[in-house]
Structures are given as structure tokens and as C-alpha cells.
Chains A and B, each alone.
Chain A
Amino acid sequence: MPVLRRLAERAIDGAAIVVFTGIFLCVLAQVIFRYFFDSPLTWSEELARYLFIWCAFLGWLIATRRNSHLAMNFLFERLPRRAQLVVTAAFQIATLFFAWILGTRGWKLVTNSWDVENVAVPFNLGVIYLIEPIAAIAIAGYALAALAAALKDLRALQPPEDRQ
């Protein structure tokens, strides 16, 4: 499991770097070709936009891993430890559910648009939506790990006589 996780995370990081560099180069190429060579590119804007969708989801996953998504803390921090763990577990279950929605509906979107050709770039619309089910699987993976951790901490909090 840890090996799988490490591999997946390296793949996410690698993809993030490639996709982001791609976006930057697309926009830069667009400026250079339009402004200096006076021959605007036809594909740069579309490609940059599609890479951006991938970038958004990859960033979402990296932020999940580094635990940096914005959260409302002011009530949560005032809860006792046990209640915090219960709330955390509940939100992880909700995350699993949302990942399931995103994954299944995203997959439907992929199959629906697999034969929709794009105007300026040589791949179909389904390829772009493919990131949704991929991201959903990763989100679910992180949520499962966080859920397991919260339940384990909750168990450790129980006084020993309740632990039958």
C-alpha cells in the first residue's frame, strides 16, 4: 500500500509539473507568435485551457495531501478532542461520497464525450474529462486513509474498560 501511494504521488507530482509548464509555454508562445511574428497561433488558447482543467484537479490532490485546503476552524478548534475526531470522521465519509459522485458522473461525462472532436487540438473532449474519475479515486484514497486515522485516534481515546 505505501509503495502504491508513493508511486501515485510521484505520478501526480510529475504530471503537475508537466501540465503547469505546458500552460506557461502555451501562453508565452501565444504572445510571442502574435506580437513578434504577427502570426497568431490557433491552438494555444484551447490547449492552455484544457491543461488548466487538469492542473486544477492535480493541484486539488496535492493540496489534499499537504492538508492545505481552506477550512473553517473557528468552531472546530473549540470542540473537545473526541468531538473533533467524530466530526473529522463524518467529513471523511462525506468526502468518500462526493468522490463517488465525482468519479461515476465524471466517468459518464468521459464516455459521453469520447467521440466529440476538438476544434484546434488533436484529442477528443473525453480525454479532458478523464482527470475527474482519476482525481476522484485519489480523493477517495486520501479520505479512506484519513478516516482510518481518525477512527484509530478515537479508539485510543476510549478508557480501557469500554474497549471490549
Chain B
Amino acid sequence: MTATMLVILAVWFAALFLGRPIWLAMGMAGWAFLHFADISELAVAQRIAKSVDSFPLLAAPLFILMGNIMNSAGITTRIFDFAKVCVGWMRGGLCHANIVASVFFAGASGSAVADAGGLGTLEIKAMTDEGYSPDIAAALTASSATIGPIIPPSLPMIIYGVAAEASIGALFIAGVIPGLLMAGALMVMVRAISVRLNLPRHPFPGVGDLWRAFKDAFWALLTPAILFSGLFGGVFTPTEAAAISVTYALVLGLYIYRDFRWRDLPKIILDTVETTGVVLALVMTAGLVAYCLSLSQVPQIAGTYLSELTDNPLVYLLIVNIVLLVVGCFMEAIAAMLILIPILVPTALKLGIDPIQFGLIFVLNLMIGTITPPVGVVLYVTAKVAGISFERVTRATLPFLVPLLVVLAAITVWPPLTTWLPKIVLAP
């Protein structure tokens, strides 16, 4: 059966490079495995439905809805304006504002693509209007967008938590420190570049301006606080916290900022269901492939090889980092995650690596993969928004990979960066 599996894997990799759409490549690989291994094809229908039969996974569409409400209720604009006032006076001001706005927005959105497509449109326009090259605007938007799924809420962490049976709440909270580190590291890089390129800066705003922008953005900035207070002490599950956050965003848009009306809601819901469908088509078909992998015992076989390779957790993490960075370049993040989790996680647990730390390393690797060629989903989005070629954005993004890789190395080597905060916050 393993031989059949290897053939199917080859087909699957080939289809993945030409996969149009990706779900079809995975669905066909799953069907082919069942067919040639003589297992009931009923499993195709069963596994596809089973993969989304999960209450924790329900947090995903709710957070997508929240991000969509934020983007259309003028909340994004207020967050960006506040970020501009806060850090716009530094050299390369709008670059810093781009990063800081991504941090604020990350607290309300769970996907890098939503960040790059929603907030990114605003940021790239503001930056090019002020004379920044579209290359640097797009590159910075793409690299700061990767903060979105690290600071909670986070779609990839929800999917990781469901697939690896790790606590989604703990993963969320563990993302806070690495997310802030990413922002800090990117800002250091911007500082180095902006001195060399002599990038423009804004005059220092008066206290009055600062206060006005803060007052205007206050309710929007409170959104992550709502989410956190729900997760503290584990009072609400992430799914319930998501529903509460959506309610808050609705009240904000409908009654406080009033940029949003009830009749906008059907369109927003349809957009949300669409995005949910895009994500879940991958979750469902990758779930089918993962089921086939487990039938053919690929995870066990790979696990034996992996544990023969090393019994040092740090060496193992190094190997995992290299594997994930390479895979992240060529494969879509969600598909890669669902297929690699059953292979890589058991060995990590056996070596005594904290499941939450491992989750963060996993997700950060794959998020870096969204801004590396040739399959950089986020690069595609920002290139389109900025109106430049994929190759140009890719080249401009290279320097910003350095700070992100430094953070990745830091959370790999020093577990407390990811394990300390959840331990305190979630302690009963």
C-alpha cells in the first residue's frame, strides 16, 4: 500500500504545480489512492464532510466575517490614520505606519491575505502618493501582512489547532510576543533602509492631533481587547469569542462609526461565505489526502526515519524549519499544514518539544512562505494592488525576509518566547 501511496504522492506533487484549482489536485489524489488501494470510495464523500465537522473550526468563518466588517465599516481607515500619527514622524514614516497598522489590524483579522488586500490597498496608495516607490510599498505591505496570522485571531492557528489537537486559545495567546517581535524587527530594518535612502518623514504631530486620532480609533483599537478578555482564563472557547467579536464589530460599524448599514450585510455575508469556501475546499480535500496518508502509514514510516535522524530537539527543530521553509515556497500554506502536521508533530512531541511552541514555529514558517516565490499568495495580492510585476515585489521583499527569519530563529531557540505568556494567562 505504501508503494501505491508513493505513486499517488508523485501525481499529487505534479498536479500541485499545475493545480487549477488546488482542491482538485488534492481531491483527485485522494480518490486515486482509495481507488488503486481498493478501499471503498465512499470515503471520499465521508472524509470531505468529516474534515469540516468541527466546532473549533467554526471560529474561522466568524473571524473572516469580522475582518470583512472591519474593512467595510471604515475601521481600517481609522486604524491606519492612528498609526500614521503615532509613528509617521520617524524617518520613512509611512513604512513604520504600515507595520504598526498591521499590528493593530492583526488583532481584528486572522489572515495575511485579508491584511494585504484590505488594509494593504490603503497603505500602498498612501505610500505611493507620498513618493515612495511602489516596490517598497508593496514589499513592506506584504511582509507586515505576515504579522496578521501570528497575532490573534489567526486562521492558520485555528486550522493547526484542529489538525494537531492543540489548544487554539493557547496558540492565540502564544502569538502575541512573536508578533510584536516581528513588528519590532521589521521596524529596525526600515530604519536601516530609510537612513540610506533618505526616505521622507512627517512633522511631529501635536498632542492635540495625537489625541484626536486616538479618540477616533479608540473603539476600533478595543476590538482585540474584547477577544482577549474572552480568552482569559478560558471563559469562552475561541469560537464563542469570535461570535462576540463579530457582534462588537457590527455594533461599531452600525451604531458608533455609522459607516455601515444593515443592507450592506447580505453582500458581506456572501463575501465571507465565499472566502470560507476557498479555505474549506482546501481543508476538506487536504483532509481526504491526510486520511489516505494515515491509511498507508506514511506518518509512522516518516516518524521512524525522523527519530533515527536525531534525538536532539534543537536539531529536529532546525530540520523542521528547513523543511517547512522549502515546502512553504512551493505549496499553499493550508494544504501544506494539513498534510505535514500528522508527519511532523508526533516526533516533536516525542522529543519533548512544547506543542504550542511547535505550532508557532509551524505557522510562522508557512507565513514566511506566503511572501517567498514562486507560490507567494500574499506577494500576488500586493503586486496586483500596487500594479507592479510579481518579480519586482519579490525582489523588493527580500531584505524584509531577514528580520522575519531572525524572529523565527529566536522562537526556535528560546521556547519561553512562545510558552511563557499562555502559561500565565491561561492559568486557572
**Most chain A CB inside 10 Å of its own CB: which residue of B55, B243, B273:** B273
Q: How many residues of B contact A (CB 8 A)?
A: 58
Chain A 60-103 interface 0/1 with B at a Cβ cutoff of 8 Å (1 = within): 11110010111111111000000000011001001101100110
- Would B273 and A55 count as touching, CB distance under 8 A? yes
Known contacts A73-B380, A108-B45; is A63 also within 8 Å of B281 by CB?
A: yes
- Would A72 and B58 count as touching, CB distance under 8 A? no
Q: Which of B19, B61, B281, B375 contacts A23 (CB 8 A)?
A: B61
State the CA gap A101–B29 with chains docked (Å): 13
Which B residues lie at the A interface, using CB under 8 A? Answer: 16-24, 27-28, 31, 41-42, 44-46, 48-49, 52-55, 57-58, 61-62, 65, 235-236, 239-240, 242-244, 246-247, 266, 269-270, 272-278, 280-284, 332, 373-375, 377, 380
Q: Which of B17, B55, B61 contacts A20 (CB 8 A)?
A: B61
Q: Which residues of B contact A66 (CB under 8 A)?
A: 274
Q: Which of A23, A52, A76, A102 contacts B18 (CB 8 A)?
A: A76
Is A49 on the interface with B (CB-CB < 8 A)? Answer: yes
Q: Which residues of A contact B22 (CB under 8 A)?
A: 69-72
3 tightest A-B CB contacts, nearest first: A59-B277, A69-B21, A105-B45
- Would A72 and B274 count as touching, CB distance under 8 A? no
Interface residues of A in 17-54 (CB under 8 A from B): 17, 19-21, 23-24, 27-28, 30-31, 35, 45, 48-50, 52-53
Q: Which residues of A contact B282 (CB under 8 A)?
A: 70
- Would A101 and B44 count as touching, CB distance under 8 A? yes
Is A58 on the interface with B (CB-CB < 8 A)? Answer: yes
Q: Which of B24, B57, B373 contacts A52 (CB 8 A)?
A: B57
State the CA gap A61–B61 with chains docked (Å): 16
State the CA gap A105–B19 with chains docked (Å): 23
- Smallest CB–CB gap between A21 and chain B, Å? 7
- Would B52 and A52 count as touching, CB distance under 8 A? yes
- Would A109 and B28 count as touching, CB distance under 8 A? no
Q: What are 7 contact pairs spanning A and B, CB under 8 A?
A: A20-B61, A27-B239, A31-B244, A59-B273, A59-B281, A72-B20, A109-B46
Q: Which of B235, B246, B276, B380 contacts A59 (CB 8 A)?
A: B276
- Would A94 and B24 count as touching, CB distance under 8 A? yes
- Would B273 and A20 count as touching, CB distance under 8 A? yes
State the CA gap A75–B23 with chains docked (Å): 17
Which A residues lie at the B interface, using CB under 8 A? Answer: 13, 16-17, 19-21, 23-24, 27-28, 30-31, 35, 45, 48-50, 52-53, 55-63, 66, 68-76, 87-88, 91, 94-95, 97-98, 101-102, 105-106, 108-109, 112, 128-129, 132
State the CA gap A45–B55 with chains docked (Å): 7
Known contacts A17-B266, A109-B42; is A132 also within 8 Å of B21 by CB?
A: no
Q: Which residues of A contact B24 (CB under 8 A)?
A: 91, 94-95, 98
- Smallest CB–CB gap between A133 and chain B, Å? 9
- Would A68 and B274 count as touching, CB distance under 8 A? yes
Q: Which of A27, A62, A95 contacts B273 (CB 8 A)?
A: A62
- Would A49 and B54 count as touching, CB distance under 8 A? yes
- Would B273 and A101 count as touching, CB distance under 8 A? no
- Would B17 and A60 count as touching, CB distance under 8 A? no
**Most chain A CB inside 10 Å of its own CB: which residue of B235, B270, B283:** B270
Q: Which residues of B contact A31 (CB under 8 A)?
A: 236, 240, 243-244
- Smallest CB–CB gap between B71 and chain A, Å? 16
State the CA gap A28–B272 with chains docked (Å): 18
Q: Which residues of A contact B270 (CB under 8 A)?
A: 13, 16-17, 62
Q: Which residues of A contact B375 (CB under 8 A)?
A: 72, 74
Q: Which residues of A contact B244 (CB under 8 A)?
A: 28, 31
Q: Which residues of B contact A57 (CB under 8 A)?
A: 277
Known contacts A62-B277, A63-B281; is A128 also within 8 Å of B61 by CB?
A: no
Known contacts A72-B375, A101-B31; is A129 also within 8 Å of B276 by CB?
A: no
- Would A71 and B20 count as touching, CB distance under 8 A? yes
Q: Which residues of A contact B52 (CB under 8 A)?
A: 52-53, 56
- Would B239 and A61 count as touching, CB distance under 8 A? no
Q: Which of A13, A69, A101 contacts B281 (CB 8 A)?
A: A69
Known contacts A27-B58, A91-B20, A98-B27; is A74 also within 8 Å of B374 by CB?
A: yes
- Would A23 and B380 count as touching, CB distance under 8 A? no
- Smallest CB–CB gap between B112 and chain A, Å? 13
State the CA gap A48–B20 with chains docked (Å): 31
State the CA gap A106–B53 with chains docked (Å): 15
- Would B377 and A87 count as touching, CB distance under 8 A? no
Known contacts A20-B269, A101-B44, A128-B49; is A59 also within 8 Å of B274 by CB?
A: yes
State the CA gap A108–B52 with chains docked (Å): 19
- Smallest CB–CB gap between A68 and chain B, Å? 6
- Would A30 and B332 count as touching, CB distance under 8 A? no
Q: Which of B18, B58, B65, B243 contacts A75 (CB 8 A)?
A: B18
State the CA gap A62–B58 with chains docked (Å): 19
State the CA gap A70–B334 with chains docked (Å): 11
- Would A24 and B45 count as touching, CB distance under 8 A? no
Q: Which residues of B contact A55 (CB under 8 A)?
A: 61, 273, 276
Other contacts beyond A13-B270, A69-B281, A87-B20: 5, CB < 8 A = A20-B65, A24-B243, A24-B246, A59-B273, A62-B273
Q: Which of A56, A72, A75, A91 contacts B280 (CB 8 A)?
A: A56
- Would B278 and A68 count as touching, CB distance under 8 A? yes
- Would B42 and A28 count as touching, CB distance under 8 A? no
